[in-house]
Amino acid sequence: MAFELPKLGYDYNALEPHIDARTMEIHHSKHHGGYTTKLNNAVEGTDLEGKSIEEILKNVSSHSTAVRNNGGGYYNHNLYWQVIAPGGAKSPSGELLDAINESFGSLEKFREAFVQAALTRFGSGWAWLVLQNNKLAVSSTPNQDNPLMDVADVQGTPILGIDVWEHAYYLKYQNKRPDYVNAFWELINWDEAARRFKG
Amino acid sequence: MSFELPKLPYSKNALEPYISEKTIEFHYGKHHQAYVTKVNNLSQGTPFENASLEEIIKKADGGVFNNGAQVWNHTFYFFQFNPDGCKEPKDELKKAIEAKFGSVEKFKEEFSNAATTLFGSGWAWLVKNEKGELEIVQTANAGNPLRDSKTPLLTCDVWEHAYYLDKQNARPKYIEDFWKIIDWKVISERYSK
C-alpha cells in the first residue's frame, strides 16, 4: 500500500503563537505532501513496495537517493507533527525523566545540548533526542537523514526531533532560528516522547 | 583580516517584483551580515586571521570555512543582479555557452534543473574549469567551486532563505524569476577575466 500523508489530528492554527497557521499549512500540505508523493514514486515497482518506512530506512544506504531523501522527509515530518501535538504533559516525568537525568545530568542540561545541536546544524537538517542501547543521546543529521538510517552517525530510536530546515520557521522567525527553537521547546508533547521512549 | 559587508550596487527594492525588498532586507541585511560578523570572530587567533576569503575557501574547514565561503558566495550572488542589466549573454560567453550546451535556452534549462534538484541548502553554479570549459555544478551548504579549482561565473542561492518569504515552497518559480534580473554584462566580465 502506498504511503499516505497523515492527517495532523489538530488544526493548523493550534500551535499559535509559537508556530503560525500559514507555516503549518505549507509545511504539512506542500513539504510533507511533496515528500509523500515522491517517496511513493521512488518505491513504486521496486522491491521496497509494501515495506514499512522503518524497514526501508534501516537499510537506506542500499537504496536510491530519492528513497533516502523522501523516505526521510516522510518519516521525520510524521514524527514532528506528533511530538508537538497540542495537549499532553508539559514536562517529562517517570522513566523518561530518570533516563534524561542519567544521560545528561539534568533536564536543563539536556535542553542545552538539544538547543545547541539545533542551532549548530549548518544548512538544512534535524536535531534529535535518540535512544541508543538504553541510553539517551543528542545528535543532529543533515537534510532529511535520521537516526533510523544506517548512514547516521548516531543510530537508534528517535524520541524527539526538531526540523531546522528554514521552511519550518522562516515565515514567522526569518533568520532567528534560536527563537524558533525556544518556541519548539514550549510545544513538546512529553506524553508522545514517553510513548516513543517505551517503544 | 576584518571583512566588511559590501554595499549593494542597487537599492533594496530594485529587484521587485522578482525578489522583494523584504527578502533583500533579511538575505543581505541579516544573513550576509551575520556571515561577515561570524567569519571575523571565528578566524581570530587561527591561521586564517589574515587570510583572504579565497584562501579560506580553498583551505579552511568548519565554521571559518562555512562563514567565509558564505560571505564570498553572497557577494558574488548579489552583485550579478541588475534590473536594467544586459538580458542575454553576448559575444565570447554566448559562443562558449552554445558550444557547450547547444543554445542559451538549453543552458538555462540545465542550470535551472541543477538549482531545482539540489536537495537541502546550497548553490548551483556556472563555472569555468581548469581547461577553460564551461560546466554546471552544485555545491551543498556553503560549498564553493574555487575549492575544486573551478572559476565561478554565475550562481543561484537555493537556501530556502533566498526565496521563502516570496515564493515559499515554489523553488522553481524563484529560479524562473532569477533569470529576469541577471546582468549578463557582469557574467561576461567574470568569464573574460
Which pLDDT score, from 0 to 100, does residue A199 have?
87
Q: State the CATH number of the domain containing residue B109.
A: 3.55.40.20
B12 touches chain A (CB under 8 A): no
Residue B12 lies in a domain: no
Residue A1 lies in a domain: no
**Domain residues for A48?**
20-199
Is the pLDDT at B1 greater than 80? The verdict is no
Residue B73 lies in a domain: yes
The Cα–Cα gap between A107 and A53 comes to: 31
The Cα–Cα gap between A80 and A100 comes to: 20
Domain count within chain A: 1
Residue B1 lies in a domain: no
Q: Which of A96, A82, A182, A177 is nearest to A136 (CA)?
A: A96
Last residue of a domain, one of B30, B53, B78: B78
Dihedral of CA B80/B83/B86/B87: which sign?
positive
Beta-carbon separation of A165 and B119 below 8 A: no
Note whether B107 and B164 are same-domain residues. yes
Residue B58 lies in a domain: yes
Note whether B107 and B53 are same-domain residues. no
The Cα–Cα gap between B56 and A14 comes to: 46
Beta-carbon separation of B160 and A174 below 8 A: no
Burial of B15 (0-12, 13-18, 19+ CB in 10 A): buried
Total beta-carbon pairs less than 8 A apart between chain A and chain B: 54
Q: How far is B30 from chain A (nearest CA, A)?
A: 7
Residue A5 lies in a domain: no
How do residues A121-147 score in pLDDT, each as one tens digit?
A: 999 999 999 999 999 999 999 999 999
- Listing DSSP states for A120-137 in one string gives H--SSEEEEEEEETTEEE
Chain A 55-74, residues with CB within 8 Å of chain B CB atoms: 65, 69
B34 touches chain A (CB under 8 A): yes
CA B151 to chain centre: 12
How do residues B5-25 score in pLDDT, each as one tens digit?
A: 999 999 999 999 999 999 999
Angle at B83 between CA B81 and CA B86, to 5 degrees: 80
3-state SS class at A119: helix
**Domain residues for B163?**
91-192
Element (H, E) at A100: helix A94-104
Q: State the CATH number of the domain containing residue B62.
A: 1.10.287.990
Note whether B118 and B53 are same-domain residues. no
Q: Which of B159, B174, B123, B122 is nearest to B31 (CA)?
A: B159
Q: How far is A198 from chain B (nearest CA, A)?
A: 32
Q: How far is A149 from chain B (nearest CA, A)?
A: 17
Q: Which residues of B touch A123 (CB under 8 A)?
A: 120-122, 140-142, 159
Beta-carbon separation of B161 and A175 below 8 A: yes
Is the pLDDT at A25 greater than 80? The verdict is yes
Closest partner CB to A26 (pick from B30, B122, B168): B168
Q: Give the residue numbers of the binding site of A for Mn(2+).
A: 27, 77, 163, 167
A4 touches chain B (CB under 8 A): no
Q: Which amino acid is at B73?
A: N
How do residues B32-46 score in pLDDT, each as one tens digit?
A: 999 999 999 999 999
Residue B165 lies in a domain: yes
Residue A9 lies in a domain: no
Q: Mean pLDDT for chain A?
A: 97
ipTM of the complex in this document: 0.96
Which of B164, B165, B171, B174 is the best residue to mutate to test the A interface, defined by the most A CB atoms within 10 Å of its own CB?
Answer: B164
Note whether B29 and B113 are same-domain residues. no
